[in-house]
Amino acid sequence: MTTVRREAFGRMPPEEGGGEVEKFVLQSDSVKVEILSFGCIIATLETKDRDGQFSDVVLGFDTLEGYTRKHPFFGAVVGRVANRIANGRFSLDGKEYKLFLNNGPNSLHGGAKGFDKVLWSPQVLPNGVRFFRLSPDGEEGYPGDLKVWVTYTLSGRELAINYQAQTSKTTPISLTNHAYFNLAVQGSRDVYDHEISIEADSYLPVDDTKIPTGEVAAVQGTGFDLRQPVQLGKHLQKFHLDGFDHNFCLHQGQDRRLVARVFHPPSGRTMEVHTTQPGIQFYTGNNLDGSLKGKGAAMYPKHSAFCLETQNWPDAVNKPHFPNVLLHPGEEYNHTTWLVFNTA
């Protein structure tokens, strides 16, 4: 049985139009998750360790104010296009579109005011919550009125996130959730003792601005071969890696498949990621620097969390040999990701 509660969480600042932000608490016997109507943010996710103790395993803030200030997309749904678009430009049907540059020379996670920084309209479901918004034609430089639905449902140990969209003009779209996890407990110093595996035979090498070069490289014999579980800290040392911020290429298809698994031996917590998406960005919180004060006054230093963002491949709109990222009028964008929490 999943229970769903809605509570007030705060008000948007007047310069942001005011507006009530609500929190939706989804709870089963195994998992408790709190989701905000601002940015569809997963603000809290509590799951049991092997002794049955609940701990919060996602980074974030105690108050709305933390989320309305600048932060690295903690827990939010990002779009209209997740990840990076080179030089903030793309061409469609002979017309060039220019986006806001918010990541060096590139556009990242939807631009200056992406889906993570807006209020969504909520609808309570028996076992979850559905959020809706209309992204108007021209918002952040993207073409077409885009209707978007993001649905969170909790069933036992499994949190499902479904993304649907329809457009009035051809537009690129790639949606993901940007939760930062630490299976020890949020606020722990690092994730070096986590064991991770990713079911991917290839990955995308990137240039010095994190844009894919266009090569689809085999993981075999490299530090990107995560097909068998590796202990993160030892693995980064062994391959002299500063961390991961790379797209791993998943087997294509619309069916649900297991794509990643993380195990935290001290607590016994495990997290599996299943998805219908063609890629997963593995990010190890390389840009966290301890400057943000998170929940319970926790500091979040470098490598104190990991993200597994299921999505289309970065810069796919400029790389025709990457999976199709365009949504046309009359079509439906529809992807689901499932996070399954267990103990071992």
Q: Which residues are catalytic?
A: 178, 309
Transcribe 262-325 into DSSP letters: EEETTTTEEEEEEESSSEEEEE--TT--S-SB-GGG-B--TTS-BEEEEESPTTGGG-TTSPP-
**Would the annotation count 179 as a binding residue?**
yes
DSSP letter for 212, please.
Answer: B
Helix (H) / strand (E) containing 153: strand 146-155
Helix (H) / strand (E) containing 66: helix 64-68
On whether the CB atoms of residues 116 and 96 are closer than 8 A, the answer is no
User: Could you identify the residue written with the tokens 């301890």?
Assistant: 290
Nearest 5°: the CA angle 184, 190, 191 is 60
User: Could you identify the residue written with the tokens 């590796």?
Assistant: 230
The residue among 55, 59, 48 whose CA lies nearest residue 268 is 48
The residue among 178, 287, 193, 181 whose CA lies nearest residue 236 is 193
218 vs 216: CA distance, rounded Å: 7
222 vs 200: CA distance, rounded Å: 12
**Would the annotation count 318 as a binding residue?**
no
- Burial 90-107, CB ≥16 within 10 A → b, else e: beeeeeebebebbbeebb
**Would the annotation count 264 as a binding residue?**
no
Residue 158's contacts (CB-CB under 8 Å, 6 or more residues apart) are: 31, 338, 339, 340, 341
Helix (H) / strand (E) containing 237: helix 232-238
Binding annotation for beta-D-galactose:
83-84, 178-180, 245
Q: Which residues are annotated as a binding site?
A: 83-84, 178-180, 245
